[in-house]
Amino acid sequence: MPDINKINGLVLCDEIHVNGVTIANILNIDSITKNCCTANGPISIAGPEDSCALACADEDCGNYYTDGTSGTCPLVNGDILYSDASCTLATSGYYSPTNCVGSCDYCYSVNGSGVITVTECPSTCNEILLSRSTESCTVACGGECTTYYTNASGVPTAGDYIYQTSECSCEGEQPAFTYYSNKCGERSGTCFTVNGSCQIGPIAGCGR
């Protein structure tokens, strides 16, 4: 099968004229429809999501195409994102290759015309179910769990942070020590001692 994108060593979609004919005026060659998207891709990207935070955390990657230079990290503002090789514009929303092949830690905001605006991925802010006590680990380990936030992507460890706000900011005056637990009714759990800067210090097991 001849490849319309590569003729006589030329990458058709990268050329402006071929044999004196403007590329834009070439619709097909030998009954093969011109399809420039395949020349720049596929690239592995997750999305669309409702925010950069969600896109940058998304691990469900798919193949997309672009008129930009595939393989570069990141793509650049103004590049077009296509959802298939037939140049269908990608649905508007937020995309990211962060957790995909190439691990490019950027967010692509795509508008209704498929045009990309590139931003950095926001710092991680994940939901976590915890119980909280200002008294002790014992109380925290047996307490009812509600949603808090952390910069950790899995179970937090010493040095990570636990926040009460979805912006992952340590707002307001915090107690010198607050105790959080992820036991949440399970057989086992951990108690995190958090200082006034919302940072986790000593960690203990529940139930001892």
Partner 1 sequence: MSEYIFLEDRILDETGAEVMMSWETPMMEKHAEVVTENGGDILEIGFGMGICSNFIQQHQIKSHTIIEIHDEVFEKLLLWAKDKPNVTPIKGSWVDSIPNKQYDGVMLDTWKDNKNVEFKKLIAKHVKPGTIFTFYNSYEEKVNGYNYKADYIILDVEPDPQEYEYFTGKKYYLPKVIF
**Binding residues for partner 1 (CB under 8 A):** 126-129, 142, 144-147, 154-155, 182-190, 205, 207-208
Taking alpha carbons only, the member of 6, 35, 31 closest to residue 18 is 6
Token duo for residue 35: 């399809």
Nearer of residues 50 and 127 to partner 1, judged by Cβ:
127
Token duo for residue 114: 């498929």
CA angle 169, 179, 139 (to 5 degrees): 140
Q: Write down the least CB distance from residue 120 to partner 1, Å.
A: 24
Nearer of residues 77 and 165 to partner 1, judged by Cβ:
165
Nearer of residues 40 and 181 to partner 1, judged by Cβ:
181
Q: Which residues pair with 178 in a beta bridge?
A: 194
Cβ partners under 8 Å of residue 22, min gap 6: 16
Q: Write down the least CB distance from residue 126 to partner 1, Å.
A: 8
| Tokens 């720049």, residue located | 40
Query: Whole-angstrom Cα distance, residue 20 to residue 10?
Result: 14
Contact 204, 191 (CB under 8 A): yes
Q: Write down the least CB distance from residue 174 to partner 1, Å.
A: 23
**CA 138, chain centre distance (Å):** 37
Measured in residues, the chain has a length of 208
Q: Write down the least CB distance from residue 136 to partner 1, Å.
A: 15
Nearer of residues 96 and 150 to partner 1, judged by Cβ:
150
Q: Write down the least CB distance from residue 150 to partner 1, Å.
A: 10
Q: Write down the least CB distance from residue 186 to partner 1, Å.
A: 6
Nearer of residues 76 and 155 to partner 1, judged by Cβ:
155
Nearer of residues 72 and 147 to partner 1, judged by Cβ:
147
Cβ partners under 8 Å of residue 88, min gap 6: 82
